Structures are given as C-alpha cells and as structure tokens.
Amino acid sequence: MTIEDLVGERLMIGLSGATLSDADVRVFQDTRAAGLILYRRNYEGPAALATLLDALESALGRRLLVATDHEGGRIVMLGAGTTIFPDNLAMGTAGEEAFAFRQGQFEARELRRLGIDLNLGPCLDVLTERYSPNIGIRSYGKDPRIVSRYGVARIRGMARGGLSACAKHFPGKGHSPLDAHLKLPTIDSTPEEMRATHLPPFLEAMAAGVAAVMTSHPVYPKLDPSGVPATFSRRLVGDWLRGELNFAGVIASDDLEMGAVSETCPIGEAAVRTAAAGHDLLLVCHTAPAQRAAAVALVEAYRSGRLPLAEGEAAAERVRRLRLLRAARREGGPPAPEPDARPLAQAIATRAVTEVGHGAVDLRRALNGRVAVVFPRFSDLAPRITIEPEIADERGWVAGAFGSAGITPETLVVGIEPTADEIAAAAKRAAAADATVLFLFDAHLYASNRALLEAVQAQARRLAVVLLRDPYDAALLAPGVRGLTAYGFRKCQLDAVVARLTHP
C-alpha cells in the first residue's frame, strides 16, 4: 500500500450534490478517499441515490464505505424509503428497551436497501442539568443507565439487520455549553464526573461490539491539561479510548470542517493532528478544497516522518476491514420502509407524550367551541433539514390531525421566527377563540418565539402549548397553561400530541 493509498483509505468525504460530476470523481481519484458520507444535498430519492453510488464506484473501480447520519428524529439525511422515528429522548421516555432494538433492526434493513454500510449513530451523549444547545432531544436522557440500555439495544438491532453502527460523541458532550458546529466548546468535567456519568454508555457499546466510535471536538481541560480539542488529544483518543479502554474497532473523527476545528487551525494541520491523536477515519464532509488539503497534508506528514507509518497502516487496515465487511452494495430488495416500522414509531411517540409546565387545564369542553391553532411554517426549514411532506403541508396536516377528532380549527401558520405582524395576528386569534393550541418552536432560543408565547398567553382563554424540540420552554409557560411535548416534531410525534390533547 502506497502512502497515498494509506491516506485515502482513512478519508471519508462528501459530495456537492445529488448528481455525480467529473469534478467529484477527480476529488475521489486524487485523494483516493475510501469513504463517502451522504447528506440531504445528495438525496433526491432511492433511484437517484442508486445511480449516484453506482456511477461513483464504477468510475473509481473500487468499493467505498458509505455512511450517513441517521439518528432518527431531528437528524435524518435520507427521508424517502425510510421510516422517520421519534428522537432519542422520546425513546428514552417511552420506556421500552425492545422498541430500541426493533428500531435498529428496521432502520438497518431500510438503509441497507439504499446502499448504506455505516450509520453514524446512535448518539450516546448523556444530558445533565446544564443546557446543551446541540444535543437535547438527540440524547436518550439524563440517566447513563437508560442511555446505555437503549443505545446498546439499538446498536444490536442494527447489527441484526446487517448495518454497522457508530456510537458518538466520545467521551461525551451532552453537557457541552456550545454547538461545536459553530464554536469550540470547553467542558470542565473532572475524570470522576466523566467516568460516572458520560463514559458508561460508550463502555457498554464497546462491550456490545459496536463497529465504530466517533469522538467529539470540545476541549476537556481536566481530562487533558494540554488544552487541545479532544479531536487532537492523544491522551483521550490513542491512550484512553484505544489503549486503556482497549477499543479495537474504528475510531472516527467528527467533521473536521466544523467551526470548532476551523477556528483552531487550517484543515491540513487539523487532519494531521487528528491522525496523530489516534483516529482511524477522518471526516472532511463538505468542500473539495478542504478534502484535497487534508489529503496532501497527511501524505506529507507520513513522508516526513511526522506521522508514524506503522500506526497509519494499522489504522488503514481497521477501516479497510469495515469497508469490505459486506460484498454487496445493497441487500434486502428494492428500497422501501419496513411494514411494521411506522406502527412502531407511532407507539414510541404515543408513549413518550409528556405533560409539562405548571398546570394541566382541561380543554375538552373548550375544544367543542371555536378553536385556534398557531403552527410554524416547517416548509421554510425544508431546504436545510429533512421535513416530512405531510408536515410541510402545514394547513393540511392541522386540518387532518384535528379533523379526526371532529374539530375544525382556524389555523394560522407563522414563521419559524415569527414576525411582529404574525405575533399580533396570533394574539388576536387567541383572544377570539374558546381554545387555542400553540405549537412552539424553541422560545428559549428565539426572541420572536418567546414574544409569540407571551402574546398568546396574555390573550388566550384556554391555552395548550406543544413544545416542538427541546423541553426547556416548559419553564416559560404561565400557570394554567397546559404544556405537552413528545420531544420532537416528526409527524408521528405531532400526531401523538394531538391525540393526547383531543382524547385525554
């Protein structure tokens, strides 16, 4: 194996779009990257994805390791042909370990039909009382035993269905104060705190034979006094994860184009430092210049002796074994959701619905009168994240969900960050209605949504507020307001909340 091949075996890169260009092929040829990560921008449906993968592998004359982020809930890259399950916090709340196993099994079958080898999930970060802006509902909860049980059950389900899993984000960032996509966080937890709370799910996942573990970007100064991000920390990756914890699988970095890394050093240097820390698989997910720079820097580092060749060869061999684990690109038949998957998703969502806030006012009688529904314009998010078609048709979904209970609401659709005019219109609707249902999108993060909540609370006669993402907005609800959450905004979750609201 040449140095160029060794480096390429360890690179996982992304494509710019849903159709293959000559430039895309040249990047893979020049970097010799053996891994492909798929995002929403690459997915226009099962048939187009099959064409994309087949064309790329045919042009390269070799099999790639194809991965995607398919956590469920908020983080889903490939929509059509799969079942969108509730977020992990809903699963942890539902309280049934067998559900997690079946989810893993179903999603494995669905993803293998699409040609996916590796799911970059589940998220095994443990929540704490400290607010986490990028984990939240991606976590199974605050109890490391719950996170371990459900995470491992899902990993085992994926393995049963023929899909490799990647546990993330070691050594745990459920209490990170910043979003590493944007800035470099610092986590001040002691080794004792990390071992007691954040490490157990990863230990359980490794004991269960998880194929890969993804590390995290934050600085952990009490774990590595050098003050470098965990991605660059030999102490955390090579010495602790590979050495002391004896993990024999593939150690993957998080995306090296994230803000947490780019504010630290250029991409080439970041790739070298990530390899030196002990990672096997290096993710450079978005731009061709960054992908090329990473490959060039790694080749130069091995040629100069800055990176030891023997370690690089061992890392490349671990990735190669994972890449060649399956002979077929696809298996299990034509792409399609598993028949029993949607009922399972609905069962999880239904069991996860939780009453929050200070009061549980009975709306049943008021719902027989004039009902106003204020609902966010999810279609505005569709260019950035996967939004189910039913939810992107906001008025249609509201009419159908409430109509099944014999309710014909007056619906006002507002922006994800509502305007002053939309807020005023919502308050006016609430004042005129016997009952108002407000679907609220992160008022603790967006001032406009907090203003929307306050305006509606001030005017509504009877009010129910549905929290659509993290449950932190519960603290903002006024006494006498009924708060509900299903820990996410997927269709199955919204259906479950409306069913609870209309059929208590």
DSSP state of 369: S
Q: Considering 69, 87, 254, 442, which one is annotated as catalytic? A: 254
Contact by Cβ (8 Å): 49, 78:
yes
Helical axes 491-502 vs 341-352, angle rounded to 10°: 50
d(CA 116, CA 298): 27
Spatial separation of the C-alpha atoms in residues 377 and 396, rounded to whole Å: 12
Active site includes 279? Answer: no
- The Cα 152–Cα 78 span in angstroms is 23
Q: Residue 301 and residue 305: Cα distance in Å, rounded?
A: 6
Tell me the three-class secondary structure of 63-127, residue by residue.
CCEEEECEEECCEECCCCCCCCCCCHHHHHHHCCHHHHHHHHHHHHHHHHHHCCCEECCCECCCC
Query: Active-site residue 181, yes or no?
Result: yes
Q: How far apart are CA 242 and CA 41, in angstroms?
A: 34
Spatial separation of the C-alpha atoms in residues 269 and 79, rounded to whole Å? 35
**Selected catalytic residue, list 181, 239, 393, 434:** 181
Which amino acid, residue 451?
A
Write out the two tokens for 113. 């039909």
Query: Catalytic residue numbers?
Result: 181, 254
